[in-house]
Amino acid sequence: MKKLINDPADVVSEALRGMEAAHPDHLRVDHENRIVYRKDAPKAGKVGLISGGGSRHEPMHGGFVGLGMLDAACAGEVFTSPVPDQMMAATKAVDAGAGVLHIVKNYTGDVMNFEMAAELAAADAGTEVLSVVTDDDVAVQDSLYTAGRRGVGVTVLLEKIVGAAAEEGRPLQEVADLAKRVNDNGRSMGMALTSCTVPAAGKPTFELAENEMEVGIGIHGEPGRQRLPLAPAKDVAALLVDPVLGDLPYQQGDSVIAFVNGMGGTPLIELYVMYNEVRQLLDRAGITVARSLVGNYITSLEMAGCSVTLLKVDDELVRLWDAPVNTPGLRWGA
């Protein structure tokens, strides 16, 4: 195992200290509870937005805290859900009287712990909390970590779009309804060329031969639909795009945000090769790409591979996507 770390037990806490030191004008960190806060949170009259999950998916979620996205993000241990006390502390801290929305990826621990935190915050401080669960992964119905579909790429797009709506001062129920609409209109699928190595484990999560790839993996290295011989990018793109298009289903004339995400170990040049293939498939299907996003936004340590997310959009969703955002991981117009 070759990693730029000190002690595996200190990776999360030391990374949070580094994030705070790198972005002192935008973020503050509660190191006891491992919560990343927007510097100016809570904002009076604004719905508070919270997400979180296991660490080692960076920049998700702490990298999406700031203007136009999240007000707080709770960092769990590596690939492990944050605990209810973290989420309750974050919920109470960002409540400025307009309520709080929890954005939860569909993993059993995340869902259970966010539910407990919402109940605790309501009982302790009277905070009004609503939740939306993202479940956009079409690869498998159930996996090692979920009952139902996994929450993956749509989570980033949802946090951006819903963050813009909250910035406009929309009420909690309207923000929650928008979040559900985004989740309902997005689908994702991923693949891996290599495994990742969790620092505490010191060895790869799974084994792939040099001539193999895993199609349909999850962001924790969960196995996917099938293990296949390594193929050119154009074939890989079809293996990801075709199931996504058929699931919603998407139709000729739809407009989408097309998101090609790197899993952490794939260079940007290869992600652009993949995006080119994805774009050609969408053009042939008569689907218009209204906006695009390419890069490493939901990672799985050093795993090589990528995922494709398509979100069906209308004029309102595009406008909210284009609204200013200023976070460590996503920034424009601000």
Q: In this structure, what is the dihedral angle of CA atoms 116, 117, 118, 123, given to the nearest 10 degrees? A: 90
Is there a contact between 131 and 102 (Cβ–Cβ < 8 Å)?
Answer: yes
Among residues 23, 26, 102, 220, the one annotated as catalytic is 220
Is residue 57 annotated as part of the catalytic site, yes or no? yes
Verify cis geometry, omega within 30 degrees of 0, for the bond prior to 229.
Answer: no
Is residue 257 classed as helix, strand or coil in its secondary structure?
A: strand
Q: How many CB atoms lie within 10 A of CB 246?
A: 11
Among residues 23, 57, 61, 102, the one annotated as catalytic is 57
SS (H, E, C) 128-171: CEEEEEECCECCCCCECCECCCCCCCHHHHHHHHHHHHHHCCCC
Pairing of strands 35-38, 72-78: antiparallel
**Cα(328)–Cα(326) distance, integer angstroms:** 7
**Cα(146)–Cα(179) distance, integer angstroms:** 20
Pairing of strands 27-30, 48-55: unpaired
Residues pairing with 102 in the sheet: 50, 131
**Taking each helix axis from N to C terminus, what angle separates 84-94 and 108-125, rounded to the nearest 10 degrees?**
50
Is residue 220 annotated as part of the catalytic site, yes or no? yes
**Cα(189)–Cα(284) distance, integer angstroms:** 19
The set of catalytic residues is 57, 220
